Each structure stands twice: as C-alpha cells, then as structure tokens.
Amino acid sequence: MNKTLLLIGLLTAACSTGCGDPQLHQVTGKVTLGGVPHERLLVYMRPIDEKVDKFRMGVGETDAAGVLTLRSSAGDGLAAGHYRVSFSCMVPKGVGNQEALDPNEKHDDNPKLITEEIVPDPYSSDAESPVEFEIGRSDVNEFVFDIPAK
C-alpha cells in the first residue's frame, strides 16, 4: 500500500513538471529577399497539421547578414512537425533597398514614418504562403530560403 502511494506521488510530481509537453527543436538558418539579406526580416512558422499552441507557433528575426533563429512562446525552438512559413519586412516607404537607410537612425521609432511591406504576396500571407518546412526530431533544423523579390 505504501509503495503504491509512493509510486502515485512520484508519477504526479513527474507529470506536473511537464508530462506530455513536446520537446523543442532548434531552428536556425538564413533568409534573404531577392538574394539580399535584410535586418529585421520577420519569419513566422505556423503548424499545418496541428493546433497552434506555445510549442507550435514560431517567430524569428534576421540580423544584418540574414541569419535567423526561431523561438516559440515555450522557449528556443519549436515542436517537431510540418509548418507553413510566412515573412514580413517593413521598410520606410520608397526605400526598397536596405543599404539606402541610415544605420545610425532607428526608423521604426519614428511615429510619423510611413512604412511599406517589401515581401511580395503570397509569401507575406500566413494562410497562402507556398513555403513549408518540416521540423525534425534532430537537435538542429536549418531553414534556408530566398524570397523572390517583387
């Protein structure tokens, strides 16, 4: 009887610390737009066959070289599965080339600044983007993609 109660207590304690939570798998890579890296290009991954939850909705932001690391609300990485990938990159209106921006000025902090999306349809649509990615159970999953320019 005491062994049974001890076993039940141990199982309850183990499950309360994450029983059933999927393992997160690191997703890194590089994303360019028309062959050009853009700093702050956003990459979103939504599950195709699963419900969105804190393990299965990812977002990442590229650095100036286009390097990317995705994370979910649960931490670094996403649960294994099949994902639809969409993108967003907002720049000051009329400036399609990032090199023309002043790197010392934070354009997104200016409330009067008018911006435009430079990622073309359908790649900017979370429902219609043709890009899909399979996150495997390996420790590192690499996503490399060049978005066709407008």
pLDDT of residue 20: 87
**pLDDT digits 0-9 by tens, 102-134:** 555 555 566 667 889 999 999 999 999 999 999
Cβ–Cβ under 8 Å, residues 27 and 45? yes
Instruction: Report pTM.
Output: 0.76
| Domain boundaries of the chain, sorted by first residue | 24-147
Residue 147 contacts by C-beta under 8 Å, 6 or more apart in sequence?
A: 31, 32, 33, 34, 87, 119, 120, 123
Asked if CATH classification 2.60.40.10 holds for the domain at 24-147, the reply, yes or no, is: yes
